[in-house]
Amino acid sequence: MILTPILIVPAAVGLVCLWMRSRRLMSALGVFGFASTLALGVRLLGEILARGPMTECGEFFYADALSGWMVLLISSVSLGTSLYAGRYFQRDLADGLPAMALLLGGLLVFSAWLPAPLLEVIQQAARIIGGKR
């Protein structure tokens, strides 16, 4: 079973980030989550190349070679983005970037593999809009 954890890990990390107060800890957890997803993607692609397409949950989830490469590509971009995003958003917040611009910028980033940084952006914007920095 490897397809299900690839979907659960980012969602779980995103939910945990909702309750965190420390931005530094939130950023570190996001990097850990995306590194885990990348490791799972490498393992998935290896298994697909060795054994062929795989299914889980009564064939509800299906992955072939193209799916494996896409998971690997998306998870590597997500990891790179999460490494860069933490410092980038802290610098913009220190410079006084309007919270709505931060929120809309975060909402424009669309990927099924980016819940933790997106939730981090939304949480930071909500704090600024609510008057809490």
Q: What is the pLDDT along the chain (133 residues), one digit of tens a residue?
A: 888 998 888 888 888 877 777 777 888 888 888 899 999 999 999 999 999 999 998 888 889 998 899 889 888 988 888 888 777 766 766 666 555 454 545 544 444 445 555 556 666 666 776 665 5
How many independent structural domains does the chain possess?
A: 1
Query: Looking at residue 123, what is its pLDDT?
Result: 65
pLDDT for 43 equals 95
Kindly list the distances between the CA atom of residue 15 and the CA atoms of 1, 18, 68, 98, in Å, as whole numbers in the listed order. 22, 5, 25, 25
Q: Is 28 exposed, middle or buried (0-12, 13-18, 19+ CB in 10 A)?
A: middle
pLDDT, position 110: 46
**Distance between CA atoms of 67 and 37, rounded to whole angstroms?**
14
Query: Treating both helix axes as pointing N-terminal to C-terminal, what angle do 99-108 and 65-94 enclose, rounded to 10 degrees?
Result: 170
Cβ(17)–Cβ(123) under 8 Å? yes
pLDDT value, residue 40: 94
Where in the sequence is the domain holding 119, given as residue range(s)? Answer: 3-129
Tell me the C-alpha distance between 84 and 8, whole Å: 23
